[in-house]
Amino acid sequence: MINIVFDYDGTLHDSLKIYAPAFRKCCELLEIEGLKEHSEYTDNEIKKWIGMDAKTMWNTFMPSLSQSLKDKYSAFIGEKMLEYINQGRAVLYDGALDILEKLKADNYRLIFLSSCKNSYMQAHIKAFGLDKYFDDFYCTEDYGFIPKYEIFKDIKAKYNGNFIVIGDRYSDMKVADKYGLKSIGCVYGYGTEDELKSASAVAYNVKDIYRLVKTID
């Protein structure tokens, strides 16, 4: 059996729809508390942080902030995103569920691997019925936020067969590179084309994924 390891944010889920408003709310709070001067951020400026782990994001955005405050505001963003998911504001890329359904019908084993908290993952499973499509779910919080390629060791040990990795960031391509796997880089997501240069194939739209899987499997 062929196993497909899917990233989530920027691959299936258009996370900017809930991350951008949560990020802006966080900035407002930082300004109110006198920790940051007022700034307006475009969606393009915000999206570069999607898919980063919290440590990297805060060290890029506000490196001088104390770790305790980084943790506080990181939690705030996470809570706001959960609130938006529960309000029905989360959006998958058009055609994402159709792709999952077709791959599942063709007997691919689908595995979810995301750089996120467990509560975030569970909220999305509930919101979109993802357990109808995915055979297993992994999030980095359950492993102490270690890199995805380290978590993949457990996936590889659990499941036989070949693997294809699909994602929009270098952290996804690194899984494939480390283990000599085929991969699909999703340039419509939040990474740069340079991050995805090692991909076996490139998807310019989520609807490209099914065709590309069939091409490289």
pLDDT along the chain (217 residues), means of 10: 96 96 95 90 88 82 92 93 96 98 98 94 98 97 94 97 96 96 96 93 97 93
Eight-state DSSP code of residue 24: H
111 and 189 both lie in a single domain: yes
167 and 128 both lie in a single domain: yes
181 and 156 both lie in a single domain: yes
67 and 41 both lie in a single domain: yes
Give the SS3 label for residue 113: strand
What pLDDT score does 112 carry? 98
CATH number, domain of 172, equals 3.40.50.1000
- H or E element that contains 166: strand 162-167
Q: How many CA atoms lie within 13 A of 46 on its CB side?
A: 19
State which of 37, 57, 86 marks the end of a domain: 86
Q: Would you say 23 and 40 are in contact if contact means Cβ atoms under 8 Å apart?
A: no
Among 1, 212, 208, 207, residue whose Cα is nearest residue 104 = 1
Among 95, 104, 119, residue whose Cα is nearest residue 206 = 95
State which of 34, 69, 86 marks the end of a domain: 86
Number of domains in the chain: 2
137 and 210 both lie in a single domain: yes
Q: Would you say 26 and 76 are in contact if contact means Cβ atoms under 8 Å apart?
A: yes
Task: Indicate the burial class of 32 (C-beta count within 10 angstroms; 0-12, 13-18, 19 or more).
Answer: exposed
**What is the per-residue DSSP string for 19-73?**
HHHHHHHHHHHHHHTTSS------HHHHHTTTTS-HHHHHHHH-TTS-HHHHHHH
This prediction's pTM: 0.92
What pLDDT score does 142 carry? 96
What pLDDT score does 55 carry? 81
123 and 188 both lie in a single domain: yes
- H or E element that contains 6: strand 2-6
Which residues partner with 114 through β-bridges?
139
111 and 207 both lie in a single domain: yes
Residue type (1 letter), 13: H
State which of 86, 112, 127 marks the end of a domain: 86
What is the domain range of residue 156? 2-14+92-216
